[in-house]
Chain A
């Protein structure tokens, strides 16, 4: 999306290694940053989200960090497993919609090699 930049576009790691995906956003008033995972043939599914009043949130092997000053946030997956292979999207509130809708990054295709 034009308001969210996501890198890298592809990422290949060995099973057990960590993976990091980064996103930057442009609207300084944004206050909600979710990450979605999309498996082949399915719709995106929320895996973790963070609101602007905290800098980090963890859920088992997944964590998200937020730097509001720099306007970027990152997804961290530790101890990667083959089932983590999917496309991951970051998102942020879409300006001009009263922040009712989300704008998504272009996605990162994660491949975990067994």
Chain B
């Protein structure tokens, strides 16, 4: 399978715990995006990497959220001290380096905070 893969697919945690999601983009794609999607809404932009550099971060993103892409390949998204409002689907997407173009999404990691 050469698509975008995300792990885990589903995470259930208690409020206050930390969680980490991993994304493996399509190998030749150097742009990587994290989005969040809640029920009945469209994906909401969180952050964007070009290679290992984090170039954009939503101003709405809490400082409890941090993302890394240390070698310009896979990426991790960590949420510290989770809150019930963090419950959502976290989507990763990748694209080839161009100004705008097709985003290839993974199937997402669903977070449930109890």
Chain A interface residues (CB < 8 Å from chain B): 1, 6, 31-32, 34, 36, 41-46, 49, 89, 91, 93-94, 96-107
Contacts and interface: CB of A to CB of B under 8 A. Distances in A.
B112 to A, nearest CB: 15
Nearest to A93: B100
Contacts of A106: 40-42
B56 A100 contact: yes
Given A43-B93, A97-B56, A104 B43 contact: yes
Interface of B: 4, 31, 33, 40-45, 48, 50, 55-56, 59, 91, 93, 99-100, 102-103, 105-108
Contacts of A31: 100
B46 to A, nearest CB: 9
A44 B100 CA distance: 16
A93 B45 CA distance: 11
Nearest to A41: B107
Given A34-B102, A43-B93, A104 B33 contact: no
B41 A32 contact: no
B107 A104 contact: no
A101 B105 CA distance: 13
A-B pairs with lowest CB-CB distance, top 3: A43-B105, A104-B42, A32-B100
Given A89-B42, A105-B42, 14 more contacts: A1-B42, A32-B100, A36-B103, A41-B107, A43-B107, A44-B43, A44-B91, A49-B102, A96-B59, A98-B56, A100-B55, A100-B99, A101-B45, A107-B41
